[in-house]
Amino acid sequence: MKEELASIWSSVHDQFNNPVQIIYLAFVGFIVGACGGAVIAVFRISKETAFAGVMTWLGQHRSIEAIAYFIVAALAALIVGRLIKNTAIRFGGAEWIREALADGQTRPWMQILIPKFLGIWLTLSAGVSVGSEGPCIEMGAATALGLKTFDKKELFERRFFILGGCAAGLSAAFSAPFAGICYVFEIMRQKLDKTLFVFLLGGSFGVYFSVTLVFGLDVMLPLGETPYLRLSVAWLLVALGIFGALAGAAYNYLLRLSIQIYKRQNLVPLVFRPLFPFLGAGIMMLVYPVCAGEGMAVFDSFPQWRETMSFLCLFVVIKLLFTAFCYGSGIPAGLMVPILCVGGAMGGIFADVAYSLNLLPPGCEATLVVMGMAAAFTAAECAPVTGVVLVTQMTGAFSVALPMLLVVFTAWCASRYLRVKAP
């Protein structure tokens, strides 16, 4: 271990041996983060506006006029079907990023950025139940590669730009600047490198500058006060971690099953597979709109959750099944936002049960919702540190970050016991 740390420090000292060079490294990271964040901010604002418009229109036209939506949705699905013929555009784009990091062979950055932007924008605007963070990570990496073309003297490793773009994409998707750093080192499993850390740290401030200060996208999901639990009921955090882990395990199992079913069938060609989730999203928006899109609408009814336990249970079941149904088709999609929404609902269910058994003091719903989100995310992604940083930043619940460690550690152990596998 000492030899490895000495090697890392030696490489840092050789390449950046004075403060000016380190500041320059952080500044370039800042530019990557700011540009990647700006692209994602534009995507988020335009996507949310389009989705809200579709929901409003369908709410006002539930009769025969709604057929117009299904026609437009079918056309959008065919466009997405054409886009996913490119393997780099399917799902979240992790395969393309791995290839780019492994051997440097990759497609021109514009051939990734524009199709991915269009594909995920059409998908989420139509109300398909998937997340946006996977495509956002890929769009961030593509934007960073575009910036790398200006490095004519090859002063920086290409790897730095790719990883910096990935971190910026995730951070901007959740308005969580420092979550991207954890994502690179924990989920992408990159070796801890001080030069890379400085680059990513500069990128975090770049994301904050562009997403929050320029575009005004602050805390993504403010849930109000999140009080501590009394020490006497701290054991509930262990139970909540296990409860959330079950949701994460079920989520990944259903996703893998859906992918296998879509792959094994030979009746519907790849280009027509997006028709299923797109048309299904139209039905969902008419029948049960809270499960349409990424699912963040479930938190709009947060204050009334205790009176609608059946609503939360129904949401969890339908959201898990519908997300798996949509994702398996190969459309551009992420996985994090839906499981965060499911985890939050699981936390609400857990809180309701605890209240009914007189195990909780009043006013702790938000605390359990936030911790449920972290538990489900940790189990699905096997990333406890990223779970804590991401959830606290996207909700602003910094006061419960320390007790949340117990929840995510329990969820992580439970996911290991359940042998949760990535989809």
- Tens of pLDDT, residues 52-88: 999 888 877 767 777 888 999 999 999 999 999 988 8
Confidence at residue 1, expressed as pLDDT on a 0 to 100 scale = 43
Query: Hey, what are 169's tokens?
Result: 């994409």
Q: Whole-angstrom Cα distance, residue 100 to residue 152?
A: 19
Residue with tokens 């538990």: 375
Query: pLDDT per residue over 89-137, tens digit each?
Result: 988 888 888 888 887 666 788 899 999 999 999 999 999 999 999 999 9
Closest to 204 in 3D by CA, of 372, 360, 78, 32? 32
What pLDDT score does 12 carry? 44
Helix ranges, 265-383 (H)? 275-287, 309-327, 336-356, 365-381
Residue extent(s) of CATH 1.10.3080.10 domains in the chain = 2-214, 231-418
Interhelix angle 67-83/275-287, rounded to 10 degrees, is 150
Rg (CA), the chain: 21
**Which of 7-16, 86-95, 176-185 is predicted least confidently?**
7-16
pLDDT at 133: 92
What is the sign, positive or negative, of the torsion defined by CA atoms of 200, 400, 306, 320?
positive
Going by C-alpha positions, the residue among 279, 280, 301 that lies closest to residue 290 is 301
Q: Does domain 231-418 sit in CATH 3.40.50.720?
A: no
Residue 104 has a pLDDT of: 65
Tens of pLDDT, residues 12-50: 444 556 677 788 889 999 999 999 999 999 999 999 999
Q: What is the pLDDT of residue 18?
A: 67
pLDDT digits (tens, 9 = 90+) for 263-308: 998 889 999 999 999 999 999 998 999 999 998 888 886 666 555 6
* Domain at 2-214, CATH homologous superfamily: Clc chloride channel (1.10.3080.10)
Look at residue 422 in the predicted model and tell me its pLDDT. Answer: 74
Q: What sign does the dihedral 27-29-32-37 (CA atoms) show?
A: negative
* Average pLDDT, integer, range 340-354: 91
